[in-house]
Amino acid sequence: VLAYASDHNYTVLSHAEEKSLATGYYHYGYLTRDKGIPGIPSSSESVNVARNMLLAGETGAKIHFCHLSAKESVALIKLGKELGINVTAEVTPHHLYFADKDIIPFNTMYKVNPPIREIKDRDILRETLKSGLIDVIATDHAPHTQKEKEQRISEAPFGISSIEIAASIVNTIFNDLQIIYERMCRMPYKILGEENSLSVGQIADLVVFDPEKEFEVTAENWVSKGKNNPYFGKTLKGCVVLTIKGGKIVYEER
């Protein structure tokens, strides 16, 4: 796959997971050990990052790693870039916002793959996103029904629904519109080879964002049918007022 992608100038998007190690439900750490819950170690991600990245370097392919969660993976991305490998990476809003200490045991709203990891992992994700080592913020939006998520932890699906508050989460953490623009707009376009800009003749894909408005996340003001998220009751700063796609208004704040 990587050799073919290299020959045709494609970018390979990699979900880095060694499935033989990823057999649990939360990050393998104090929570899983204390509660006797099967855990998912950081190595289940990082060993796959190392393998795929080195193979991309060997074949000359462009590789982009989706939703990284572990500090070891970030260290590998840094090494890959220093070696001249054409590698980029992303992180999700929930991996930037939460750490495993925030998880309510057996609450499946926190069950996501890769799992929410320790404070030191979260802090490194934040630091390297700000520095530009991590290139993109992507939601990994995964809506599920209430019924699906109400199953016991071994049966409930992985995933968090958060696309409508993604920019709000990022703004709450960093209070920096430049990060939202660079990591959620410009860099995704660039990596996918679909450059766009605010200029005459370009496609009007625009978002109007109020960075100062605070609001509480509730089921009542939630738009998505997928209400599986651990943010209900949280107060966030900044909200999307208007979304224009292809020159047409597709969302307007109620």
Q: Which of 34, 140, 205, 210 is catalytic?
A: 140
Instruction: State how beta strands 206-216 and 235-245 pair.
Output: antiparallel
**Helix segments in 25-101, DSSP class H:** 30-35, 43-59, 71-82, 93-97
Tell me how crowded residue 198 is: count the other CB atoms within 10 A of its CB.
8
- Burial class from Cβ neighbours inside 10 Å (0-12, 13-18, 19+) for residue 37 reads middle
Contact present, 110 and 33 (Cβ < 8 Å)? no
CA distance linking residue 210 with residue 143, whole number of Å:
25
Cα–Cα dist 49/27, whole Å: 17
The alpha carbons of the chain give a radius of gyration, in whole angstroms, of 19
Locus of tokens 């996501």:
112
Cis, bond preceding 38 (omega within 30 deg of 0): no
User: Known catalytic residue: 140?
Assistant: yes
CB atoms within 10 A of CB 147: 8
Beta-carbon contacts of 99 under 8 Å, excluding residues fewer than 6 positions away, are 116, 117, 118, 119, 121, 122
Active site (catalytic) residues: 140
